[in-house]
Every structure is written in structure tokens, then in C-alpha cells.
């Protein structure tokens, strides 16, 4: 994405500025969805909120479950789809040679526009946001670009109405206390129709999408929180142990270990290994 038309309204913070690639963090306020012309080929990892990215009247839903692959020189419009909720994204831009080395078919990847975003990519994006120096940031950015084409889960670029509405309800209820019946009743459809439509569209069931939203939020909040139990309850988990069990199963390390890694990287201390659980 290009920079917002008014830099004083939305926030764009540089994370990496190197010869191989650049990275920025964009925080778009709910009432100020960005628009403009895409500055270059890019990858956007959204870690909070949701929006529709529209190019040539083709709208694509983007949220933490999806990566956005952006072609250069395209007029675009973002539309915030959850009332009162904007979006926050890490945007990576890399040169043609770098992308060709990391992605097997750059043109087809960009043409697809949307891809699955794993929790591992979400974790790398959060660590990139907190990288203390440019070298660490560049290495994390390269790892994100590598991982961005690893998840082959099939998803569609245009959601059915009920799928979009179900996503909006889950975004509006971050503690995850909605049941399948409640969501279906809110949308005026049967639970069976909802589950079948959602899985066909997203390549995963509703509960997996909810888990991804919860843990993506945990990855964002954990480095700045002292009380893990309080965060676990805030996210809708029944206890510290329940949260830790799910987090370790999905991320590969405990919440406390991830928090320590993120804090070490932010302070520039000798880095703890990312992949070892504690």
C-alpha cells in the first residue's frame, strides 16, 4: 500500500529501511481508511482489525487470517468493515530480485492477491515490530517473506455474505463468547449452512478462525503485559493453564517464553531462541 494521503491522520512507522527490503507499520483509524496508488510490490500482514482491499472493483477481505499480496501501481481503496474498528498491518516491500529468490512464481503469487496467514507469520511480524536494530529486522522480514508462501490452505478472494458477517461478529467479540447457534441466529441462517459456507470460503472451520484471532491478539499484547492470567481471561480462556496449553500447541512455545523473546529483541539483548519452548 502507498502511504496514507494525510500522514497526520493515520500512523505509519518505519521498521526496516534496507537495500533488500523495507518494512513499515501502518495503523489506520476506523474513520480514515487509506486510499491511493500502491507504491510497489508488497506483502501486508494485518495483526489487528479487518478491511476490504478494493482494486478495479474487486474487493478482498483482509484480516489476521489472510495475507495481502500487492501489485505495484494500482489505485486502491480500503474499506473498514467492522463498525468502529480500523486495522493495523506490517507492510513489507522488496525488490524484484529479492522476491524472485524467495518466491517461486512472483507474478502468480501477486495475481492471487490473498493467501493464508499462519500464526507463525503473525509471531514473526510481532517480533519485527519490536526488533531493536535493522539487521534483526531485515532477517525477520526475510523469514516472513519465506513463510508467506508456505501455507497452501485454499481460501477464496470474495466471501459469501454470511461468511463476512460471521467474521465481523467474531471481530466484534474478541473474548470469543459467541456460540455457533448464536452466530447463525444473528445471520438468519442455519448452523449447518454457516459451517459449510465458512469452511468452503476460508479453508478452516469457525473455531479455528476464532483461535487464530485470539492468539494473534495474544501475540500483540503479551510483550507488554505482566499478568498472563488476566490476559488469558480477557481473551476468553478459562484459566492460565488452558491459555498456555493452547498457545504452546499452536505457537510452539509457552506465552512466557514468547514474551521473553519479544522483550529481548526490543531491548537489543542477546536473543533467546524463537523455537524453543520453556
Please state the three-class secondary structure of the chain as a single string: CCCCCCCCCCEEEEEEECCCEEEEEEEECCCCCCEEECCCCEEEEEEEECEEEEECCEEEEECCCEEEEECCCCEEEEEECECCECEEEEEEEECHHHHHHHCCCHHHHHHHCEEECCHHHHHHHHHHHCCCCHHHHHHHHHHHHHHCCCCCCCCCCCCCHHHHHHHHHHHCCCCCCCCHHHHHHHHCCCHHHHHHHHHHHHCCCHHHHHHHHHHHHHHHHHHHCCCHHHHHHHCCCCCHHHHHHHHHHHHCCCHHHHHHHHHHHHHCCCCCCCCCCC
At residue 5 the predicted structure's pLDDT band, cuts being 50, 70 and 90, is: very low
Low-confidence winner among 55-59, 147-151, 273-277 (lowest mean pLDDT): 273-277
d(CA 15, CA 30): 23
Q: Select the more confidently predicted residue: 109 or 25.
A: 25
pLDDT tens-place string over residues 16-39: 998 889 999 999 999 999 999 998
2, pLDDT greater than 60: no
* β-strand pairing of 75-80 with 42-49: unpaired
Domain extents in the chain: 11-147, 161-267
DSSP bridge pairs for 37: 75
pLDDT tens-place string over residues 133-190: 888 899 999 999 999 998 888 787 777 889 989 998 988 776 667 888 899 999 999 9
User: What pTM does this model have?
Assistant: 0.87
pLDDT at 78: 95
Burial 224-256 (b: 16+ CB within 10 A, else e): eeeebeebbbbbbbeebeebbebbbebbbbbbe
Residue position matching grid coordinates 526496516: 16
At residue 271 the predicted structure's pLDDT band, cuts being 50, 70 and 90, is: low
Tell which residue, 173, 151, 140, has the closest CA to residue 262: 140
Chain length of the chain: 278
pLDDT at 147: 94
* β-strand pairing of 21-28 with 11-17: antiparallel
Q: How many CA atoms lie less than 13 Å away from 214 in the CB half-sphere?
A: 25
- Average pLDDT for 215-224: 95
Q: Select the more confidently predicted residue: 11 or 174.
A: 11
Look at domain 161-267 and name its CATH class.
mainly alpha
CB 53 within 8 A of CB 60: yes
84, pLDDT greater than 70: yes
pLDDT at 273: 61
DSSP bridge pairs for 18: none
83, pLDDT greater than 50: yes
- Average pLDDT for 191-219: 92
Superfamily of domain 11-147: Jelly Rolls (2.60.120.10)
The share of the chain scoring above pLDDT 70, in percent, equals 92
- Average pLDDT for 53-80: 93
Give residue 237's Cα distance to chain centre: 21
Longest dimension (CA), the chain: 54
71, pLDDT greater than 50: yes
pLDDT at 92: 97
Tell which residue, 95, 128, 121, 113, has the closest CA to residue 13: 128
pLDDT at 176: 64
d(CA 94, CA 19): 9
At residue 278 the predicted structure's pLDDT band, cuts being 50, 70 and 90, is: very low
Amino acid at each position: 500500500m502507498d502511504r496514507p494521503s494525510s500522514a497526520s491522520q493515520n500512523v505509519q512507522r518505519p521498521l526496516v529501511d534496507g537495500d533488500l527490503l523495507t518494512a513499515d507499520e501502518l495503523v489506520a483509524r476506523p474513520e480514515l481508511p487509506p486510499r491511493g496508488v500502491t507504491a510497489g510490490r508488497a506483502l501486508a500482514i494485518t495483526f489487528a482489525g479487518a478491511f476490504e482491499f478494493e482494486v478495479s472493483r474487486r474487493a478482498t477481505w483482509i484480516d489476521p487470517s489472510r495475507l495481502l499480496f500487492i501489485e505495484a501501481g494500482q489505485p486502491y481503496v480500503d474499506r473498514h468493515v467492522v463498525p468502529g474498528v480500523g486495522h493495523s498491518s506490517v507492510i513489507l516491500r522488496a525488490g524484484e530480485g529479492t522476491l524472485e529468490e524467495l518466491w517461486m512464481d512472483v507474478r502468480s503469487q501477486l495475481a492471487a492477491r490473498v493467501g493464508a496467514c499462519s500464526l507463525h507469520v503473525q509471531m514473526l511480524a510481532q517480533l519485527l515490530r519490536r526488533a531493536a536494530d535493522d539487521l534483526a529486522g531485515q532477517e525477520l522480514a526475510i523469514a516472513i517473506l519465506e513463510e508467506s508462501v508456505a501455507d497452501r490452505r485454499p481460501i477464496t478472494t470474495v466471501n459469501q455474505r454470511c461468511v463476512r458477517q460471521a467474521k465481523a461478529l467474531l471481530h466484534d467479540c474478541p473474548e470469543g463468547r459467541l456460540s455457533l447457534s448464536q452466530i447463525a441466529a444473528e445471520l438468519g441462517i442455519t448452523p449447518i449452512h454457516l459451517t459449510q459456507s465458512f469452511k468452503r470460503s476460508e479453508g478452516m472451520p469457525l473455531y479455528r478462525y476464532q483461535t487464530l484471532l485470539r492468539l494473534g491478539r495474544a501475540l500483540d499484547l503479551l510483550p507488554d503485559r505482566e499478568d498472563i492470567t488476566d490476559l488469558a481471561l480477557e481473551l476468553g480462556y478459562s484459566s492460565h493453564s488452558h491459555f498456555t496449553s493452547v498457545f504452546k500447541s499452536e505457537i510452539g512455545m509457552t506465552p512466557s517464553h514468547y514474551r521473553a523473546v519479544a522483550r529481548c529483541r526490543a531491548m537489543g539483548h542477546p536473543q533467546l531462541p524463537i523455537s524453543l519452548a520453556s
